[in-house]
Structure 1
Amino acid sequence: MKKIIIVFLLAAAILSGCTSFQQKENSNDARQETKSGEAEEENKEPSAIANETRNFLLIGVDSRGEEDSRSDAILVASYEPSGESIKLVSLMRDSYVKIPDYQYAYSKLNHAYYIGGKDLLKETIEQNFGINIDHTAVIDFMGFTGMLDAIAPDGIEVEVSSKMIEDMGLDLEPGKQKLKGRDLLSYVRFRHDGQSDFGRVDRQQEILIGLKDEVMNQFSSPAGLARFPDVISQAMKYVETDLKIEEALSLGVSFLMNPVTDIETLRVPITDSYENKTYEHAGSVLQLNFEENAEALKQFLETEKE
């Protein structure tokens, strides 16, 4: 029962270790509209929220408690209550995007969080990719290890290469191995191979998908159901989110009625839709074809109607 919010919360935790532009004509009006929308959201009943498609911005930050940090992992998770899957979009942190009110106009996507926190990152994503974000969740390295140890104390099985073992300083043999909190953090952050950040994004999604079944199994028994409220309360201690506990439980009820069986994934930029560029103020970036990526994202997130 009530398992879907665990997936959302865990998504922020798991992925914390990894790391056609549509500008509104009047930015002040845009911010006013956002505030008005937030006010309307405050008045909604949790049950109403659970019946709507929701887009969650999941932000993993490269911090162990410091104030200044960058968003090392940026994902959008879309949940449609009557559907059978969660749609998960990984946004590459080096994507070269237009940041509202930024002195150089464009920079890396993760720089938006550094200069303006989750609100500016949310606004940047919405304006560059033409999608709406309903809720945000942020977690850092300490939250990642704490939550993983609480939810998956026996670890998660992954394929570990010799290069990873050397880089991470692990006393293991190459092949299938179960990694726990801190080692999983190192696993999803590893990028010292030919895939670099693209490999990290793949591992982010791999761990999330692998964890889904474990989460499902934990709450399928009467004993698991009995401890569900406590797990939710503990999980939310590790995550900074605007999602209220009653909203989380309401989403869980929705999941009970319409079980999620799959996680669909997309990486942005999509293949052959970007160039590697270098700018003095931003360093190495991914120069996106925004029209192509925005259209791919729109099609991916759209819910098919009968």
Structure 2
Amino acid sequence: MRSDKHQVKKKRRWPSVLLVFLLLIGAVAGYAYFQYQQGVNQSLGKMDKKASNVVYTFKGQKDQYGGTNILLLGSDARGKETSRADTIMIVHYNEDKGTFKLTSIMRDSYLEIPGHGKHKVNSAFARGGPELMRQTIKQNFDIDLQYYVIADFQGFVQLIDEAFPNGVEIDVEKKMSKNIDVTLEPGLQKLNGKEMLGYVRYRHDAIGDFGRVERQQKAVKAIGDQLMGLQTIPKLPKLIGVVKPYVNTNMNTSDITFMAKDFFSKNRGTIDTLRIPVENSYSDARIAGEGAVLDINVEKNKEALHQFITK
């Protein structure tokens, strides 16, 4: 008899536990959405006007190794098809391992652009948007890209200021001021959003774009490392909302959240980086109508990229 009563109590308890669980899930989802919308509205309130995103066709897919590659393009003029990509990166995400790698392609790399002949790689965006950039990378390096993100640099500023109220700690290697709207002194310090943007865009020194690409990769590592850990997870919805108005992407919010969770996880490990062209694989050249270019050994760089992704 007692056993029967105990079984009845257990059966009655389960619906209550399930109800509490569902209410908890609903509360978490509601909080996340509220934070996301707060971030979106915050950015919209700071923009002069909401930019109208161009809707691009992008025939992306996972690469032959089963990885997810995201084409990240930085531009000062998002939504204008005539603009060239100022920053070209590929984020390599391995879902099984939860790892991230980062490849930067120098914008002056002289490559074959499908249907247009040889030009600087950054002109592929102006000629045919992210889809032509995807085709260019596929043709030259035999790597598929599944997603694209075109980011306005002001979104980078807002993200830094929201995520790091006290600034991002970074070692500035030299004095920088020309054409970046800020003056940075050398030394270990904390930079706000505008200062970080100046840091990653500076290229007026002896090594020019090579130094800028190195600083961009250094900044990504610093941001990822300083945000890494469980304390960042509750901030993700708002951080994504802050950036969303400044980007044009074929990724939905759930894709971004899923990958961001792994990126900021304390178990992520270090972010490996690669620059194309790799050392001893290019020569400086001057081409009529193009100016100074990097004439690269495509096969050598393709081999280096594939080794980098798979190791």
Q: Please give the TM-score of this superposition, normalised by the length of structure 1.
A: 0.74
| Maintained 8 Å contact 1:129/1:294 | yes
Given the alignment of the two structures, is residue 273 of structure 1 paired with residue 281 of structure 2, yes or no?
yes
Q: Secondary structure at the match of 1:71?
A: coil
**Larger mean Cα displacement after TM superposition, 141-150 or 72-81:** 141-150
In the other structure, the counterpart of 1:196 is 208
1:69 is aligned, of 83, 87, 109, to 83
Given the alignment of the two structures, is residue 205 of structure 1 paired with residue 217 of structure 2, yes or no?
yes
Please give the alpha-carbon distance, in whole angstroms, between the structure 1 residues aligned to 2:257 and 2:203. 37
Change in Cα spacing, 1:252 to 1:284, as seen in structure 2 (3 Å) is closer
| Maintained 8 Å contact 1:65/1:142 | no
In the other structure, the counterpart of 1:130 is 142
Aligned residues: 252
| Maintained 8 Å contact 2:233/2:264 | no
Please give the alpha-carbon distance, in whole angstroms, between the structure 1 residues aligned to 2:158 and 2:204. 25
Please give the alpha-carbon distance, in whole angstroms, between the structure 2 residues aligned to 1:87 and 1:274. 23
Please give the alpha-carbon distance, in whole angstroms, between the structure 1 residues aligned to 2:265 and 2:222. 23
In the other structure, the counterpart of 2:10 is none
Please give the alpha-carbon distance, in whole angstroms, between the structure 2 residues aligned to 1:280 and 1:256. 45
Q: Secondary structure at the match of 2:88?
A: strand
Which aligned pairs between 1:221-300 and structure 2 lie closer than 5 A? 221=231, 224-251=232-259, 259-300=267-308
Q: Secondary structure at the match of 1:262?
A: coil
Change in Cα spacing, 1:166 to 1:197, as seen in structure 2 (3 Å) is closer
Identity of aligned residues (%): 38
Q: Secondary structure at the match of 1:56?
A: strand
**Larger mean Cα displacement after TM superposition, 149-158 or 57-66:** 57-66
| Maintained 8 Å contact 1:57/1:77 | yes
| Maintained 8 Å contact 1:157/1:176 | yes
Change in Cα spacing, 1:213 to 1:292, as seen in structure 2 (3 Å) is same
In the other structure, the counterpart of 1:115 is 127
Change in Cα spacing, 1:95 to 1:214, as seen in structure 2 (3 Å) is same
Alpha-carbon offset, residue 118 of structure 1: 1.1
Question: RMSD of aligned C-alpha atoms?
Answer: 2.7
| Maintained 8 Å contact 1:79/1:86 | yes
Q: Secondary structure at the match of 2:271?
A: strand
Segments of 5+ residues of structure 2 without an aligned counterpart are: 1-56
Please give the alpha-carbon distance, in whole angstroms, between the structure 1 residues aligned to 2:184 and 2:90. 34
Please give the alpha-carbon distance, in whole angstroms, between the structure 1 residues aligned to 2:86 and 2:93. 23
In the other structure, the counterpart of 1:181 is 193
Please give the alpha-carbon distance, in whole angstroms, between the structure 1 residues aligned to 2:145 and 2:81. 24
The residue type equivalent to 2:198 in the other structure is S
The residue type equivalent to 2:109 in the other structure is S
| Maintained 8 Å contact 2:182/2:198 | no
Please give the alpha-carbon distance, in whole angstroms, between the structure 1 residues aligned to 2:263 and 2:273. 19
The residue type equivalent to 2:69 in the other structure is N
2:72 is aligned, of 35, 54, 58, to 58
Change in Cα spacing, 1:62 to 1:255, as seen in structure 2 (3 Å) is closer
Q: Deviations over 1:47-86 (max 9, x none)?
A: xxxxx52111111113377553211110111111232531
The residue type equivalent to 2:273 in the other structure is T
Please give the alpha-carbon distance, in whole angstroms, between the structure 2 residues aligned to 1:172 and 1:128. 38
Please give the alpha-carbon distance, in whole angstroms, between the structure 2 residues aligned to 1:257 and 1:276. 40
Segments of 5+ residues of structure 1 without an aligned counterpart are: 1-31, 42-51
Please give the alpha-carbon distance, in whole angstroms, between the structure 2 residues aligned to 1:71 and 1:196. 17
Q: Secondary structure at the match of 1:79?
A: strand
Please give the alpha-carbon distance, in whole angstroms, between the structure 2 residues aligned to 1:169 and 1:247. 34
| Maintained 8 Å contact 1:58/1:136 | yes
